[in-house]
A and B are shown apart, each in its own frame.
Chain A
């Protein structure tokens, strides 16, 4: 039973356009959400986070939106760059543990 779901295994976006990565969750007790980025043969690196008391957090080209009623969050990358090609993981915090989604592979086309 996956509590955090990333339903798109992969996403292809033209360079310069907006990339939107989605994440759905089932547990309303999750109070904090994080996005991590992972390149092949490397560990994930922290990208951006959002508390459940907010609906938006922005950091440069990256914005995370949280819709608590829909139990949905999304990561927007604008504009998309070739270096953004990676696997993106959504993770949710509950009881001092992180529950991870399966990841979405983002491919930025030149």
Chain B
């Protein structure tokens, strides 16, 4: 059963701490994305990757970092430089960015500050 798995579902961060959100897909999709959702707002793109070992900044990349060492994995690190990290984070994938294919989403990680 193919899909996207995000973990953990809930995460708490202390001040000055880096935390990493996991995203794994077994859909054999080339493109992967990280979005942030805040209450009353649409999804905003943090980072995206079209292919292994390549990724690009989205609209709100400051304070975040990513890696794409494997096709199926696209972890997101929320660094201490991100001053307002409390949000709902969604990972998505699609067959490719050149073709307009719908994005498939994981169930999200909710990050809160202790």
Residues in chain A within 8 A of chain B (CB atoms):
2, 4, 9, 32, 34, 41-46, 49, 89, 91, 93, 96-103
Contact = CB atoms under 8 A, between A and B. Distances in A.
Contacts of B107: 41-43
Q: Size band of the B side of the interface?
A: 20 to 34
Contacts of A42: 107-108
SS of A interface (majority)? strand
B76 interface: no
Given A42-B107, A43-B107, A100 B43 contact: yes
Contacts of B48: 97
Leading 7 A-B pairs by shortest Cβ distance: A43-B105, A100-B42, A46-B102, A100-B43, A96-B97, A102-B42, A42-B107
Interface of B: 4, 6, 9, 35, 40-45, 48, 58, 90, 92, 97-98, 100, 102-108
B105 A89 contact: no
A4 B42 contact: yes
Contact of B90 (A32, A43, A99): A43
Contacts of B105: 43-45
